[in-house]
């Protein structure tokens, strides 16, 4: 990001100028990673609450922790594949191949949207509502909070997609927008894997 550091300095003197006038190496990915640690702790708190509830608070009669596994498993696959497609998009960007990069991006967004659609289908087919019992509330809170993250991710991907157009802000020389969205997306995927493990499989 040295190019942004000082608009006035000449290109040749950029490195020193960056040191002298408050500009510095691009720390935005580092900052995002720190933020994701914080975000992960929110999920960790939810997971801890869920596991404790499950360990010590019995469910009312007739309620069960059993969930239909088919749809969420497909959803898990969708997200895992989308992480791969995003990775491909990033590789293509760095190689300067904007066409494939944008296509892979679009595919990633589509997979994310499909995940959200699947989540909606699951919500409407579940036999319990938000306030039915402790498990139901926790289930919706956890998947809902994660779903918000996915929604935000899809929006980010689409924004990046717009910015990768010819003359857009995201280029192979300045890949920050895509890299940030990718880091975030992998994080959201990772959270889902944990969530799937403890909510559906456990």
Partner 1 sequence: MPIPSSLVTLLVGMALVLSGLWVGYNVNLLPLDASANAPVYDSLFRVLFSIGTILFLGIVGLVVFSLIRFRRRSGDHTDGLAIEGNLLLEIVWTAIPAIVVLFVGIYSYDIYERMGGMSSLNDHSAMHRMPAMETMEASVTTAEPAPEGMAPVKAPRVWGGIGTTAGEANVLPVEVTAMQFAFIFHYPEGDITSGELHVPNGRPVELRMKANDVIHAFWVPQFRLKQDVIPGQPTVLTFTPTKAGSYPIICAELCGPYHGGMRSTVVVHEPDAYDAWLQKNSPVAATVASAAGTPTA
Partner 2 sequence: MTVASPNDFQESLQPQGWLRYFSFSLDHKVIGLQYLVTGFLFYFIGGALAGVIRAELTSPISDFVSRETYNEVLTLHGTVMIFLWIVPVVNGAFGNYLIPFYVGARDMAFPRLNAVAFWMIPPAGILLIGSYFITGAAQSGWTAYPPLSITTPALGQVVWIVSVLLLGGSSIFGGINFIATVLKLRRPGLKLMQLPMYCWAMLGTSILVVLSTPVLAGTLLLLSFDIVAHTGFFNPALGGNVVVYQHLFWFYSHPAVYIMVLPAFGLVSEILPIHARKPLFGYTTMVYSILAIVVLGLVVWAHHMFTSGTPPWMRLFFTIATSFIAVPTGIKFFNWLATLWGGKLALNSAMLFSCAFIVNFVFGGITGVALAQVPFDIHVHDTYFVVGHFHYIVYGGTVFVIFASVYHWYPKFTGRMLNEDLGRLHFLLTFIGFNLCFAPQHWLGLNGMPRRVAEYDPSFTTLNQISSVGALLMAVSSLPFLYNVIVSAFRGQVAGDNPWNALTPEWLTSSPPPVENWIGEAPLVQHPYGYGVDEDSLSVQAATGRDLWSGAGRR
Q: What SS3 class is residue 67? A: coil
Burial 49-59 (b: 16+ CB within 10 A, else e): ebeeebeeeee
- Residue 23 interacting with partner 2 (CB under 8 A): yes
Q: Of 52-60, 74-82, 83-91, 106-114, which part binds partner 2 (CB under 8 A)?
A: 52-60
- Residue 58 interacting with partner 1 (CB under 8 A): yes
Are 85 and 115 a contacting pair, CB within 8 Å? no
Q: Which is nearer to partner 2, 60 or 167 (CB)?
A: 60
What is the spatial distance between Cα 25 and Cα 116, in angstroms, rounded to a whole number?
37
Contact partner at residue 61 from partner 2, partner 1, none, CB < 5 to 8 Å by partner kind: partner 1
**Minimum CB separation from partner 2 for residue 48, in Å?**
7
- Residue 4 interacting with partner 2 (CB under 8 A): yes
| Number of residues in contact with partner 1 under rule CB under 8 A | 5
Are 168 and 158 a contacting pair, CB within 8 Å? no
| CA dihedral for 202, 130, 144, 56, sign (positive or negative) | negative
**Minimum CB separation from partner 1 for residue 85, in Å?**
43
- Residue 131 interacting with partner 1 (CB under 8 A): no
**Minimum CB separation from partner 1 for residue 65, in Å?**
10
**Minimum CB separation from partner 2 for residue 53, in Å?**
6
Q: What SS3 class is residue 83? A: helix
Are 23 and 4 a contacting pair, CB within 8 Å? yes
- Residue 59 interacting with partner 1 (CB under 8 A): yes
Are 9 and 21 a contacting pair, CB within 8 Å? yes
Q: How far apart, in Å, do the first and last CA atoms of the chain sit? A: 45
What is the footprint of partner 2 within residues 133-192 (CB under 8 A)? 133-134, 137-138, 141, 145
**Minimum CB separation from partner 1 for residue 111, in Å?**
38
What is the spatial distance between Cα 30 and Cα 27, in angstroms, rounded to a whole number?
5
Name the CA dihedral angle for 118, 119, 121, 123, rounded to a multiple of 10 degrees. Answer: 170
Residues in touch with partner 2 (CB under 8 A) = 1, 4-7, 19-28, 30-31, 34-35, 37-46, 48-49, 52-53, 56-57, 59-60, 130-131, 133-134, 137-138, 141, 145
Residues near partner 1, by CB under 8 A: 58-61, 133
């Amino acid at each position: 990001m040295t190019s942004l550091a000082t608009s006035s300095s000449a290109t040749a003197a950029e490195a020193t100028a960056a040191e002298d006038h408050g500009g510095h190496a691009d720390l935005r990915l580092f900052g995002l990673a720190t933020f994701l640690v914080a975000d992960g702790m929110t999920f960790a708190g939810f997971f801890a609450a869920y596991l404790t509830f499950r360990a010590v608070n019995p469910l009312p009669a007739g309620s069960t922790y059993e969930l239909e596994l088919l749809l969420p498993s497909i959803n898990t696959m969708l997200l895992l594949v989308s992480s791969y497609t995003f990775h491909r998009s990033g590789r293509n960007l760095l190689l300067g191949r904007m066409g494939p990069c944008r296509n892979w991006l679009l595919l990633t967004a589509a997979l994310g949207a499909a995940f959200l659609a699947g989540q909606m289908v699951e919500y409407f087919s579940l036999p319990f509502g938000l306030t039915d019992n402790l498990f139901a509330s926790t289930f919706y809170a956890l998947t809902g909070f994660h779903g918000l993250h996915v929604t935000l991710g899809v929006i980010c991907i689409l924004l990046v997609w717009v910015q990768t157009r010819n003359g857009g802000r995201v280029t192979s020389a300045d890949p920050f927008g895509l890299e940030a969205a990718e880091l975030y997306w992998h994080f959201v995927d990772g959270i889902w894997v944990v969530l799937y493990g403890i909510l559906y499989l456990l």
